[in-house]
Amino acid sequence: MLEHVRKLPHARATFKQLVKELRLHGESRDELEAALERLVDKGQLAEPRSGHFVAVGANLEYVAGRLSVHRDGFGFLIPDPALEYAQGDIFLPPDEAAKGMHGDRALVHVTRVGSDGRAEGEIVRILRRAHLTVVGEFRVRKRGNFIVPSDDRIRQWLEVPEGMEMPARSAAAQHRVGAAAREIGSVEDLDGMVVNAEVLDFPEDGAHGVARVIEVLGYPDDFGVDVEIMIRKHHLPHEFPPEVIAQARNIPAAIAPRELRGRRDFRSLDIVTIDGETARDFDDAVWVDRLPNGHFALQVHIADVGHYVHAGTPIDQEAQLRGTSVYFPDRAVPMLPVELSTDTCSLRPREDRLVISALLELDRQGDVVSQEFTRGVIRSAERMTYTNVFRVLEGDPGLREQYQGLVDRFEMMRELALILNRKRARRGSIDFDMPEANIELDMSGQMIGVTRSERNIAHRIIEEFMLAANEAVAGHLETAAIPALYRIHERPEAKRVLDFEEIAVHFGYSLGIGAIPVKKFASTTRHRDGRKTRKDIVLAHEDFNISSRNYQRLITKIAGKPEERILSYLMLRSLKQARYSNVNEGHFALAAPAYTHFTSPIRRYPDLIVHRLLVHLLDTGQPLLDEQALRELGEDTSFTERRAAEAERELIEWKKVQFMQARLGEEFDALIISTTKFGFFVELTELFVEGLVPIETLPGDRYRYHENERKIIGDRTRKAYSIGDRLRVWLDRADPVERKLQFAVAVEMGKGKKKRSRA
């Protein structure tokens, strides 16, 4: 039905027209009416007037997508598919943005399109609410009790009616409520505490929403409350239902002899796991050998989670809901119960474990000569860490003695990993080596520092082997021509590439893409009152000459240069996010024609799905799931991945601010990483911490932002601040509520003297 409406003139139809065209009678008319109603509810059709339907997204009239609200009140609709006729997202003025809450899925009517292609719209309806619960600070006021959401993008306070301030005293609720809640004697005691609340009535037309408290978490500064806030703010499922726990505990840890039938036995090989020091779940184990013909035999053994977690069971349903494990500095929210994630499925040393194995033969150029996939059983010889493998390869005498039986194996692994890395480089794979924050905690769990995490050759070994296995599985599924789930990375958008190119040129570099042609065409916007407006829209043409090699060559040029950090960061931002899809569109960054995720089924649900697809194909030669089911799985798991990443990133930024509060007034060396009309952002050289230097605090002149040059320049002195500049700053403010750091420039006064600038 949707495809039929899309093909009609202006992608519009009436109910009577459809009945006539489809020659429907009796019950068929009722079925049509029900189908149209479902499509409207999903936001795939709009109904501007009763009985009149428009295909959403077929033109620039009605668009569905996710609502993104800025803390200043305005917002944007981020379309489901990228808009064909406009650049970027659809702007929503504050009055329109207030009709929904940040994260809601909404249907928007486009009211205006500027000459630059930027669109503005109005919300027609909220299609799906993102926040059935809201975490925030409880406020007692004379005119009532309210919850101020912790997410400052949720602008609306929620009113708590009398009698709904305390969590329900059921056994289930009492189990969830923290110790602080049991000490509360009155509503006034809740003032200033963080609570989680169920939304009963959503805010509309500027009025407060209504909610009831279901959990009391404690005061914002209480130890561990920050993690609890992140879990609830991002709606991370974090408590396993009783039936899931019961099922996990009933799964036998011991492997019965009958379970080994039909499995390849790899227990005699010195297979090892290589992970971080704090890892508890071990998805993958590896083994390498040199064959008589000079080729390499690479074995990648992945925990056979699918043997224990069957589709449709309580554990599977909960794993699909979670989508991925979430890792915070002091704890994890696992996708699977600990009985499976750290015990039965985990490839622990010197214990028999069931696996799905990718057996690859690779030549001296890193090309796959032959491949085989099979069920297997292994007994990991050692639980190795990245640090110890690195030290063995660097010649540490004590460790080489301790692991003398594995030294040759590790050296072969290094040799093969470097071959695979060179192969990827030849085909144009982008190799970003972006540092990540490493939060250091003391024995009590308090943060004592933040540093850049270090990567070494041991990380490279595992990375290259997992990439090889993932590509091999993806290629096998594609060759079999069955519906499958791929990890795709689409080509970057022209506008983002152009924005980055402007900055690169400022540093004397270029992606080498030449001029990107522009096309101009007209579009008609039909207003809800029937009026039509014709607008010229300018678009950057998508058929521009860009490949991963352009990025790869630039990364090579800037390697080791002072501007490497900032340009690598901005290059990464110019690319799209990778996602899961049933349609194989290749992986741009890896320059891979087919790629999937197969190697982490303990912590990623897409990998478990790929295991099931592969095993079913091996057993029957037939597909397991259809395209529609895989499309929905791709959308759901892409969402849960983004949700987890946002929660992890936000908590780390919050902990950085908490840590820096004790360093107010201290000076630091810094690097300018971006410039805006309101100031510039710096990253501290010694600490992996970022913050803003507001433009009004810059000393000695009045400064303005010059957008064309992306510089902040003084009116009189012409002193400029630009991306890549190094300078000395001091910490002026640390705001734990907004989770922001503010710095000021330390000004040189003369030899050996400095003064601090203040607004």
- If phi > 0 it is left, if psi is from -120 to 50 it is alpha, else beta; for residue 116 that is alpha
Q: How many CB atoms lie within 10 A of CB 502?
A: 11
Q: How far apart are CA 74 and CA 94, in angstroms?
A: 4
* Residue in the block written with tokens 């499509």: 39
The token pair that represents 183 in the structure block:
């000490």
For the segment 590-607, the average pLDDT, to the nearest whole number, is 97
Helix or strand run (H / E) with residue 536: strand 532-540
Residue 732 has pLDDT above 70, yes or no: yes
Quote the percentage of the chain above a pLDDT of 90. Answer: 55
DSSP string, 722-738: ETT-EEEEEEEEEETTT
Helix axes of 242-250 and 314-322: crossing angle, nearest 10 degrees: 120
Number of alpha carbons in the 13 Å side-chain half-sphere of residue 427: 16
Residues 6+ positions from 620 with CB-CB distance below 8 Å: none
What tens digit of pLDDT does each residue of 7-45 get? 888 888 888 888 888 888 878 888 888 888 888 888 888
Residue 359: name the closest of 484, 486, 472 by CA. Answer: 472
Is residue 691 predicted with pLDDT exceeding 80?
yes
Architecture of domain 133-233: Beta Barrel (2.40)
Asked if the domains at 133-233 and 664-756 fall in one CATH topology, the answer is yes
Dihedral, CA atoms, 236, 242, 248, 249, nearest 10 degrees? 140
Mean pLDDT of 631-638: 94
Average pLDDT over residues 171-180: 40
232 alpha carbon, distance to own chain's centre: 17
Cα separation, 719 vs 723, whole angstroms: 14
Read off the pLDDT band of 431 (50, 70, 90).
confident
Mean confidence (pLDDT) of the chain: 87
Over pLDDT 70: what percentage of the chain? Answer: 90
List of residues 6+ apart from 413 with CB closer than 8 A: 286, 288, 461, 465
Q: Tokens in use for 365?
A: 């150029």
Q: Where are the domains of the chain?
A: 2-55, 133-233, 242-486+592-651, 494-561, 664-756
More confident site: 192 or 433: 192
Tokens encoding 331 = 């704890």
In which band, very low, low, confident or very high, does the pLDDT at 398 lie, cut at 50, 70 and 90? very high
Give per-residue pLDDT as tens, 464-491. Answer: 999 999 999 999 999 999 999 999 999 9
pLDDT band per the 50, 70, 90 thresholds, residue 205 = low
- Burial group, residue 543, by CB count within 10 angstroms (0-12, 13-18, 19+): exposed
Which residues lie closer than 8 Å to 662 by C-beta, 6 or more apart? none
Q: pLDDT for 692-714, tens place per residue?
A: 999 999 998 999 999 878 899 99
- Find all residues with CB under 8 Å of 534, minimum gap 6, and list them: 522, 523, 524, 525
Beta bridge partners of 76: 68, 91
Residue 549 pLDDT grade (very low, low, confident, very high; cuts 50, 70, 90): very high
- Is the model's pLDDT at 519 over the cut of 80? no
Bridge partner residues of 302 (DSSP): 284, 356
Model confidence at 750, pLDDT cuts 50, 70, 90, reads: very low
Least confidently predicted of 15-24, 133-142, 414-423: 15-24
How far apart are the C-alpha atoms of 362 and 288, rounded to whole Å?
11
> Do the bridges between strand 75-79 and strand 90-92 make them parallel or antiparallel, or are there none, so unpaired?
antiparallel
Least confident stretch, 115-119, 296-300, 630-634: 115-119
647 φ/ψ angles, rounded to the nearest 5 degrees: -65, -45
Look at residue 89 and tell me whether its pLDDT is greater than 80. yes
* pTM of the predicted model as reported, rounded to 2 decimal places: 0.86
Query: In this predicted model, which residue has the larger pLDDT, 559 or 629?
Result: 629
Strand 667-676 relative to strand 726-735: parallel, antiparallel, unpaired? antiparallel
Of residues 413, 458, 425, 525, the one with CA closest to residue 120: 525
CA distance 198 to 200: 6
The pLDDT-based confidence of 65 (bands split at 50, 70, 90) is confident
pLDDT at 724 over 70: yes
Where does the pLDDT of residue 271 fall: very low under 50, low under 70, confident under 90, or very high at 90 and above?
very high
What are the pLDDT digits (tens) for 218-259? 998 888 899 999 999 999 999 999 999 999 999 998 999 999
Question: Contact, 742 vs 678, CB < 8 A?
Answer: no
Sign for the pseudo-dihedral over CA of 348, 349, 355, 357: positive
Q: How far apart are CA 397 and CA 456, in angstroms?
A: 19
Amino acid at 95: D
Higher pLDDT among residues 664 and 451, named by residue: 664
Q: How far apart are CA 651 and CA 649, in angstroms?
A: 6
Q: Where are the alpha helices (DSSP H) in 488-563?
A: 494-506, 548-558
Give yes or no for a contact between 497 and 547, defined as CB atoms under 8 angstroms apart: no
Is the pLDDT score of 653 beyond 50? yes
Residue 539 has pLDDT above 60, yes or no: no
CA atoms of 302 and 293, how far apart (whole Å)? 27
What's at 518, amino acid-wise?
V
According to DSSP, residue 376 is labeled E
Nearest to 160 by CA among 177, 141, 147, 142: 147
Q: Which CATH architecture has domain 664-756?
A: Beta Barrel (2.40)
